[in-house]
Structure 1
């Protein structure tokens, strides 16, 4: 029962410590878990300002109380998993069928499909109950198991009743339903027991036992004819009263000849046999009238059985009451004794008539739910099923939602509401997140929204990750990678679930968060791999910016190692990418080319091709390098060409380099230094644009010198421009 009080054990405050506790400006606070239906209650400082002179409480130990609501019973995990597979298969199949054909799905096919699904649910409940029985043999005092077993038995009886009323195995709602209801009744509510009959068998004259006639009437009402005919045959042959013998013999003959609808392929044949059987009732009624004034053994009871056979409604209700039966039994046998032609369409009116005579127990959710099902009141049935168990109402409404019911629009809303509620309850067990998402993904826009929210709150870890060595990372980051013992979901499992159920928004957000964490761990290659799945160009460009910044902060060695983690496949577009993604590949080409340049330098390779590779990054026809890097690239080219023993750079490449130098220098002097010189100033820790421009002046001189050497080389000149005694050869 819900309560507005929480009782903490042991108490958070001592019995006599309330005043002192208030003087210290303490209060009780609580924090809700973002990942499960739980909260933590603890004491903390009051949010109100503390009075002047109040000593600071400082660090101190405090009790933390944990509580959980809507907890999933640990005993039911396998049951939940097994039934979720049935639900997912049913919904996936229906969605595929509707997507394939725009026409409405055949109602008969829908009924058969849902009958099979309901049958699977019932099979799973039966198997679970058998498992519970085996466990209870070893742990008979397990209260949680006993309680859940009782719930499952109620769920089985109610789900099987829904199957009988709304999902006939033969697919015909207009067929007679009496025998099917009797099978349901005898399967779920066994009475009388075998022990009752065995006790009477041992008696020489069982009809003298006080429970005999109650046993006979109960078995007759519930069509358990074998013990009835056995005892009445003994009575007909051994009793001393001729009236008793005649009545018993006629009842046995009549019951033996009673036709069953299950023995006929055509209902018309059954109705013909039923009419023929009823014509034989006159022998029984005449015998009753003939002995009406006589006193004989079992007179009142056999007259009741005669009235029952002839279909007297009042007798049926009275006999059910006298035999300790409820309205439930009366409705089921109504279609046998009073109205043999009763169909499912007749059930609501007949159920209302019986319930008026035999009221339902208003304190029993099982009875209330079954009464609503008999009356086909879907809204009431949903409310009472929710009182029994959230699993029951969710799956009942899911089955009814696809059927052609008059309340289809209402049932559809109820189905989505209860499925979402059930999925949210599953999240009280973090290991059930996949199942919860599967349920939510079939609940339209609202369900998808809730699924996105649940996935975003789900803690995860990234498997198969090796952190870069010689670098200290905070625990708040390292907890997300490697093999952890914490109860976290695997990232790849989460992303696969997103793709499976079309949760694109959650996938993009999760990948973006993952990329931020991986980037903070300097795992840029992995970050790019995950972001490429969702083609999040903005986040990809951010990762490349952080990766480029590694060179500016930590130098070429770390930069080269980090770039080497990036899979090369992203350099080669397939031709189906968007223009935005191609912008990313261009930027990636710059990063990799620049890393290769520094890798070659570290190996002592210095050639004009290195300058050419940097020049191509500045080529106006492609411009892979960001503008803020142009100044740094020009300085790198200058540092490379300062070695006058290096062969000359081709004229076309030199023209590109000089053009970029003039652009950078001119625009930086006019106030655009931040746009062109950012990387240069950060890499060399320059404090002003003037300092950067002075560095570019030296680069200009080196480039002019290199260009001059190139021109001399092209006209056949030899020697050096300065620093030597050689002069160019004369023509």
Structure 2
């Protein structure tokens, strides 16, 4: 669909187009993936050297404005309310169709399903009416209305007529339609007005007033019996003509007794009653012909009452030529003729017969082609479904979307799509096209992303692919939570300055506590509802990355795990370990405290195969938690447990080789501990083996694998250019010395057995340089 954009200010002023083309530039645009906004800018059209001097564009042509535009205007407050309210009905309609279709094609059109559809479409009608009433209220609005009250009235009349014609109650689907059409006409196009009747009532002799007979004729046409009878009784009692008094008295019971379909149990009873009523009308015609033909008798000084009354009787008789002429004379249109036809000319008129009848009528009284509302009414009555949708899209894309959705459920689009199975070359059906057009309109407002996705996901594979792109680009807003509170992860919160700050701080604290709040919760829920597991994982991956940047490592790990993004989990663990290198053990333990509670859940999930989690990442996660516990015990002066943690990291083989050097240096404090012996001979042998392996591997050229972290720590504490593998190995000599002293102490006090200690010493180069 071509979109015409009006740029203000204009990108190229009048008369500058040729100069712009000669400069070698081209008009380019870029569409925002977040909404349907468009950036318009100047770019080079290709390798052409037109307008260049030595291959360079003139300086004055290099810089041009970048203009922003949008294919659709973002919905305003009242429009957004209309959108959100009706989206609930749309969702309910999809569920109904899904459930009914799942039981079998025949269940989609059973009585109960049709009645439920009718109810939901009636909800559309009522919401359109409410929005029209709301827009009609004389209330001062700072920004005005995006759509006028008349616009919503047009939507209201169109969707109401659609319901009347195509989705009646199953009990009256094949019954005569005249009464329903007249009821629709009287609801939406009130004629004559109440003010006209009030004005005539104030006159002592109403028949002397302008428009009296027009008013009387139209109330009779519209079935407004009380108003007609009221003035006929005035004629009976007050009009100077005795003939008119008598005729009016005869007409009153005829109008009051006119049969209506809803008054009878069967159509046959209605038909018989209508036939008897027509005989009464014929009798009135005979009585009318008995009035002398002289002008003095039939003219009361203001109008020819006989001609006027004769027209009313002719309408009751069902004379179609009189009906059409009179309706045009009183200012009516083709719709009024259609409704009156089903009451007076053909009381047994069926819905299926309307298209042929309406075509006959509009040949004589055409509709207004410049009035979209009138065009849609005509197309609905003539059954031109595809044209209805095209015209409805021009009136309001909301209307075309929801009409197409209901029409498709009723099977009305099958004939419209014959020979045109898809729209263009897109592979879309008519329903998908119009629903997606509406979804693209909603995309102009990023705040309506949830509703946009609901409509897109209701359009098969092509729609779900579009919905995926929308979901992936919904701003999660983690940064705004933490930045607005000024919180340092693990640190103290600043004092709240206002209610909004307190609310934001509360949201941030809930995020830290693991509570999925706000947009992320909605995105996850939306992905779950529409079965978009791949997108959910991608969103969790994005959330994990965002949280890692905010140093919310515990939550980042949870989201990476939910996304089954093991490389992302590994990067998070590396980042946490890097915090130890750069910030020290105090900050490291604070950060890992957020991770520890989730470790048990992750291990349980891995054991139960809920996540096909790679063991290497689980071991690395176990390591950072264990290493943080080790430092926490050191800081709380619990050396025995800290020493046990140190040994267990080696025994359980969860410590990465690159961290062995750091752990061995950590052991020096416990080897030199004066408060008692913290290691057994088995522990010492383990530490000795690890020390020997580090030295041996380093000497064989694998120092990067074993000493890289220790080198980083030395450099971070000593400044740039300080440290290297050689210095790291020198540092580890302190471990050798501490182990030697520990052996000596054990030998003196007889701990661990002298023979065991001697064997360990003999089989190692513990005392080597």
TM-score range, shorter chain: 0.7 to 0.9
Structure-1 residue corresponding to 2:452: 436
Task: Call closer, same or farther: CA 1:585–1:175 in 2, change over 3 Å.
Answer: farther
CA deviation vs aligned residue, 1:264-293 (integer Å, no higher than 9, x gap): 344343233223323434323444666697
Task: Call closer, same or farther: CA 1:54–1:499 in 2, change over 3 Å.
Answer: closer
Structure-2 residue corresponding to 1:262: 262
1:387 aligns with 2:394: yes
Higher mean displacement: 676-685 or 39-48: 39-48
TM alignment of 1:693-708, pairs within 5 A = none
Contact preservation (8 Å) 2:30, 2:38: yes
1:133 aligns with 2:136: yes
Q: Secondary structure at the match of 2:751?
A: helix
Residues in 2 aligned to 1:212 and 1:328: alpha-carbon distance in whole angstroms: 23
Task: Call closer, same or farther: CA 1:263–1:54 in 2, change over 3 Å.
Answer: closer
CA deviation vs aligned residue, 1:449-500 (integer Å, no higher than 9, x gap): 33332233333423366324899xxxxxxxx99949xxxxx98322222232
Normalised TM-score (structure 1): 0.80
Structure-2 residue corresponding to 1:276: 276
Residues in 1 aligned to 2:157 and 2:19: alpha-carbon distance in whole angstroms: 57
Q: Secondary structure at the match of 1:629?
A: helix
State the shift of 1:612 in Å: 4.1
Higher mean displacement: 683-692 or 335-344: 683-692
State the shift of 1:29 in Å: 8.0
Residues in 2 aligned to 1:252 and 1:94: alpha-carbon distance in whole angstroms: 50
CA deviation vs aligned residue, 1:19-58 (integer Å, no higher than 9, x gap): 999999999987655544445668999999887999999x
CA deviation vs aligned residue, 1:387-432 (integer Å, no higher than 9, x gap): 1112222222333333344629959944433333323323333433
Q: Secondary structure at the match of 1:713?
A: coil
Task: Call closer, same or farther: CA 1:78–1:146 in 2, change over 3 Å.
Answer: closer
TM alignment of 1:319-468, pairs within 5 A = 319-405=326-412, 407=414, 413-462=429-478, 463=481, 466-468=487-489
Q: Secondary structure at the match of 2:347?
A: coil
CA deviation vs aligned residue, 1:69-111 (integer Å, no higher than 9, x gap): 3321333233333323333344456556767999844532222
1:179 aligns with 2:179: yes
Residues in 1 aligned to 2:732 and 2:146: alpha-carbon distance in whole angstroms: 84
Residues in 2 aligned to 1:409 and 1:694: alpha-carbon distance in whole angstroms: 85
Task: Call closer, same or farther: CA 1:103–1:285 in 2, change over 3 Å.
Answer: closer
Contact preservation (8 Å) 2:554, 2:598: no
Task: Call closer, same or farther: CA 1:705–1:366 in 2, change over 3 Å.
Answer: same
Structure-2 residue corresponding to 1:168: 168
Residues in 1 aligned to 2:580 and 2:700: alpha-carbon distance in whole angstroms: 28
TM alignment of 1:545-556, pairs within 5 A = 545-556=574-585
State the shift of 1:435 in Å: 3.3
Higher mean displacement: 249-258 or 669-678: 669-678
Residues in 2 aligned to 1:175 and 1:665: alpha-carbon distance in whole angstroms: 98
Structure-1 residue corresponding to 2:227: 227
1:510 aligns with 2:531: no
State the shift of 1:593 in Å: 0.8
State the shift of 1:548 in Å: 1.3
Task: Call closer, same or farther: CA 1:313–1:537 in 2, change over 3 Å.
Answer: farther
Structure-2 residue corresponding to 1:476: none
1:578 aligns with 2:611: yes
TM alignment of 1:592-611, pairs within 5 A = 592-603=625-636, 605-607=638-640, 609-611=641-643
Alignment partner for residue 316 of structure 2, among 301, 309, 317?
309
Task: Call closer, same or farther: CA 1:83–1:719 in 2, change over 3 Å.
Answer: closer
State the shift of 1:149 in Å: 1.0
Task: Call closer, same or farther: CA 1:495–1:417 in 2, change over 3 Å.
Answer: farther
State the shift of 1:592 in Å: 1.0
Task: Call closer, same or farther: CA 1:258–1:46 in 2, change over 3 Å.
Answer: closer
Higher mean displacement: 384-393 or 116-125: 116-125
Q: Secondary structure at the match of 1:84?
A: helix
CA deviation vs aligned residue, 1:551-609 (integer Å, no higher than 9, x gap): 233332332222123251333433533241665443221101112223333455544x5
Higher mean displacement: 41-50 or 293-302: 41-50
1:613 aligns with 2:645: yes
Alignment partner for residue 654 of structure 2, among 621, 624, 648?
624
Residues in 2 aligned to 1:598 and 1:4: alpha-carbon distance in whole angstroms: 66
Give the aligned length: 701
**Greater relative contact order (CA < 8 Å, ≥ 6 in sequence):** 1
Task: Call closer, same or farther: CA 1:432–1:183 in 2, change over 3 Å.
Answer: same
Higher mean displacement: 433-442 or 385-394: 433-442
Structure-1 residue corresponding to 2:123: 120
Alignment partner for residue 87 of structure 1, among 82, 90, 94?
90
Q: Secondary structure at the match of 1:684?
A: helix
Structure-1 residue corresponding to 2:553: 524
Task: Call closer, same or farther: CA 1:281–1:46 in 2, change over 3 Å.
Answer: closer
Contact preservation (8 Å) 1:498, 1:504: no
Structure-2 residue corresponding to 1:684: 714
Residues in 2 aligned to 1:270 and 1:564: alpha-carbon distance in whole angstroms: 83
TM alignment of 1:61-72, pairs within 5 A = 67-68=69-70, 69-72=72-75
Alignment partner for residue 318 of structure 1, among 289, 300, 325?
325
Higher mean displacement: 324-333 or 508-517: 508-517
Task: Call closer, same or farther: CA 1:697–1:202 in 2, change over 3 Å.
Answer: closer
Residues in 2 aligned to 1:154 and 1:15: alpha-carbon distance in whole angstroms: 38
Stretches of structure 1 lacking an aligned partner (at least 5 in a row): 472-479, 485-489, 723-731
CA deviation vs aligned residue, 1:317-373 (integer Å, no higher than 9, x gap): 332222222221222222111221223333333323322332221111101111222
Residues in 1 aligned to 2:17 and 2:394: alpha-carbon distance in whole angstroms: 40
Task: Call closer, same or farther: CA 1:264–1:650 in 2, change over 3 Å.
Answer: farther
Residues in 2 aligned to 1:299 and 1:718: alpha-carbon distance in whole angstroms: 135
State the shift of 1:190 in Å: 0.9
1:713 aligns with 2:751: yes
State the shift of 1:635 in Å: 4.7
Contact preservation (8 Å) 1:515, 1:528: yes
Contact preservation (8 Å) 2:84, 2:451: yes
Task: Call closer, same or farther: CA 1:240–1:698 in 2, change over 3 Å.
Answer: closer
Alignment partner for residue 558 of structure 1, among 574, 581, 587?
587
Residues in 1 aligned to 2:688 and 2:539: alpha-carbon distance in whole angstroms: 45
Contact preservation (8 Å) 1:37, 1:71: no
Structure-1 residue corresponding to 2:114: 111
Task: Call closer, same or farther: CA 1:460–1:498 in 2, change over 3 Å.
Answer: closer
Task: Call closer, same or farther: CA 1:85–1:719 in 2, change over 3 Å.
Answer: closer
CA deviation vs aligned residue, 1:295-322 (integer Å, no higher than 9, x gap): 6344444443333223233333332222
Residues in 2 aligned to 1:636 and 1:102: alpha-carbon distance in whole angstroms: 73
Contact preservation (8 Å) 1:110, 1:403: no
Structure-2 residue corresponding to 1:500: 525
Contact preservation (8 Å) 1:524, 1:547: yes
Aligned alpha-carbon RMSD (Å): 4.7
Contact preservation (8 Å) 1:326, 1:358: yes
Structure-2 residue corresponding to 1:148: 148
Task: Call closer, same or farther: CA 1:286–1:116 in 2, change over 3 Å.
Answer: same
Contact preservation (8 Å) 1:649, 1:710: no
Higher mean displacement: 171-180 or 664-673: 664-673
Structure-1 residue corresponding to 2:764: none
Q: Secondary structure at the match of 1:407?
A: helix
